[in-house]
Structure 1
Amino acid sequence: MKHRSYKNEWFLLAGALLLTIVSFILDIYFCDLNWFARSGALVVLFAAVVEFRISGHIYDDIQRSQFLNKTIDISVPLPAKPTKERKRISIVAHTFLVIGTIIWGYGDLLWPQT
């Protein structure tokens, strides 16, 4: 099977992180903007896009193996193991989904309301 590098997915997650950091800094200097809490929604969106792209890669792998007529002896069950890179990007994307949701829901509570 062809190994993927997931450069675009890492770029999306890095962009989400950068957006969150910039939003946090903006909220420190301009308290009434609430950009940090809003950035949580974008982090969730970026992480969901990454998860969708990963599932597309998995689907491509399944289609490729069917096209090549690869058969697996089902008398001996084999656990499906993703590549280390796919597993790593998936864990980071899942973490961003959770953290982004927390930021989205509670990020505005970090600063006193005026």
Structure 2
Amino acid sequence: MARRQFTGLRFGESDHEAAHVMLKRLLHHESHAVELVLILLSVGPVMMSMYISYVTGEAHWFQRSGSLMVLFSAAVEYRRSYQRKLAEEAADSGDTERRDALERAVKAQSRPFWRSIPYVCYLQIFLGTLIWGYGDLLF
């Protein structure tokens, strides 16, 4: 008989339920993991393509990576605006659970990391647009 391992969430949950709970916690508004991943996804391809363009001499790889930087940075800002919308809806509803979630969201958004994200995104959108438009001229 195969022994079931404890996933760290709850005993007796199926793998699907455990994955759903873990994903829900990860995507919760207090978690900055999604923002960090999207920001890394916006910078990673640019760095990688800059190296590839330098080695091969083909500038189009670096130029195209600017579009990915813009895309992922815009996704971070979209996620933040969607979370603000959800927080406003929670404030309007009479549900105490949603109101508690709103209080946690307001507390999380007052952290310095959370407040610096828009400036990082705007800078990345600006740089990504420059790379997208003029990145081929560097090589």
User: Is 2:66 the counterpart of 1:44?
Assistant: no
Query: Which residue identity lines up with residue 19 of structure 1 in the other structure?
Result: P
Distance (whole Å) between structure 2 residues aligned to residue 15 and residue 3 of structure 1:
19
Give the Cα–Cα distance (whole angstroms) in 1 for the partners of residues 40 and 68 of structure 2.
12
> In the TM superposition, what are the counterparts of 1:3-82 in structure 2 within 5 Å?
4-68=30-94, 82=109
Structure index of larger Rg: 2
TM-score (norm 1): 0.78
1:40-73: per-residue Cα shift (whole Å, max 9, x none)? Answer: 011001111111111001001101111148xxxx
Give the SS at the match of 1:5: coil
SS at match of 1:102: helix
| 1:83 is the counterpart of 2:105 | no
What letter matches 2:43 in structure 1?
Answer: L
Question: Which residue of structure 1 lines up, in the alignment, with residue 138 of structure 2?
Answer: 110
Match of 1:101 in 2: 129
Gaps of 5+ in 1: 70-81
How many residue pairs align between the two structures? Answer: 101
Deviation at 1:3, TM superposition (A): 6.1
- Aligned partner of 2:131: which letter? I
Q: Distance in 2 between matches of 1:12 and 1:3?
A: 15
Residues 9-55 of structure 1: CA deviation (Å, up to 9, x unaligned): 11011111111100000000011251111000110011111111110
Which one scores higher on RCO, CA 8 angstroms, separation ≥ 6? 1
In structure 2, do the counterparts of structure 1 residues 3 and 13 end up closer, same or farther at CA, with 3 Å as the change threshold?
A: closer
Q: CA distance change for structure 1 residues 107 and 33 in 2, over 3 Å: closer, same or farther?
A: closer
* Aligned amino acid, residue 134 of structure 2: Y
The percentage of aligned residue pairs carrying the same residue is 32
Please give the alpha-carbon distance, in whole angstroms, between the structure 1 residues aligned to 2:63 and 2:77.
Answer: 22
Please tell me whether the aligned partners of residues 44 and 101 of structure 1 are also in contact (alpha carbons under 8 angstroms): yes
What runs of 5+ residues in structure 2 fail to find an aligned partner? 1-27, 96-108
